[in-house]
Amino acid sequence: MPTPSMEDYLEKIYLIFEQKGYARATDVASSLDVLPSSVTKMMQKLDEKGLGVYEKYRGFILTPKGIKIAKDIAYKHHILEEFFRVLEIKSDNIYNEIEGLEHHIGEEMALSIASLVKFFEENPGIKASYIKYRQEMGKQDN
Ligand code: CO
């Protein structure tokens, strides 16, 4: 698994905070599979960049700017999951693929993916013919 990026830390801190009401370095560390010391270091970096602050009694909290980035990544992660699910894309590595892709998608692309997912869900016949088309194409290539 590649080293989690700053955006991944923001995403995890945000999700843990939403769930528990606080985000401790140890929780973030286990969820990203990194050492707590790496989380502490990243929290300092986020603080320097104005994306989060350490408050004595509340622990580490994200600033509105940090929350905005975290929400954006969480949204992109979610629509990519939907994309893989609806298009029945099989991969042993889906989570890692999504973890990488989520950082490289612009607004237009995000909208395109989200609308394509919705379009296929609302039009199962079209989705079925697309899946069939893709299978045929896979046969030709091999
Ligand atoms: Co990621």
Q: How far, in Å, from the CA of 15 to the mean position of ligand 1?
A: 13
Residues 65-75 as b/e (b if ≥16 CB within 10 A, e otherwise) read ebbebbbbbbe
Q: Is the pLDDT of residue 1 over 70?
A: no
Residue 55 three-state SS: strand
CA 101, CA 5: separation in Å to the nearest integer?
12
Residues 6+ apart with CB under 8 A from 59: 22, 23, 24
Q: How far, in Å, from the CA of 77 to the mean position of ligand 1?
A: 8
At 97-134, the pLDDT tens digits run: 999 999 999 999 999 999 999 999 999 999 999 999 99
Q: How far, in Å, from the CA of 55 to the mean position of ligand 1?
A: 26
Q: How far, in Å, from the CA of 8 to the mean position of ligand 1?
A: 5
Strand intervals (E) in 7-79:
52-55, 59-62
What is residue 2's predicted lDDT score, i.e. its pLDDT?
A: 59
Q: How far, in Å, from the CA of 4 to the mean position of ligand 1?
A: 6
Residues 6+ apart with CB under 8 A from 35: 29
Q: How far, in Å, from the CA of 30 to the mean position of ligand 1?
A: 15
The larger pLDDT score, comparing residue 2 to residue 82, is at 82
Q: How far, in Å, from the CA of 101 to the mean position of ligand 1?
A: 7
CA 118, CA 123: separation in Å to the nearest integer?
8
The reported pTM is 0.87
Q: How far, in Å, from the CA of 120 to the mean position of ligand 1?
A: 26
**Residue range 55-59: mean pLDDT, rounded:** 79
Q: Is the pLDDT of residue 142 over 80?
A: no
Q: How far, in Å, from the CA of 137 to the mean position of ligand 1?
A: 30
What is residue 139's predicted lDDT score, i.e. its pLDDT?
A: 87
What is residue 91's predicted lDDT score, i.e. its pLDDT?
A: 87
Q: How far, in Å, from the CA of 71 to the mean position of ligand 1?
A: 13
What is residue 141's predicted lDDT score, i.e. its pLDDT?
A: 63
Q: How confident is the model at residue 55 (pLDDT cuts 50, 70, 90)?
A: confident
Question: What is the percent of the chain with per-residue pLDDT over 70, rounded to a whole number?
Answer: 97
DSSP 86-121: HTT---TTHHHHHHHHTTS--HHHHHHHHHHHHHHH
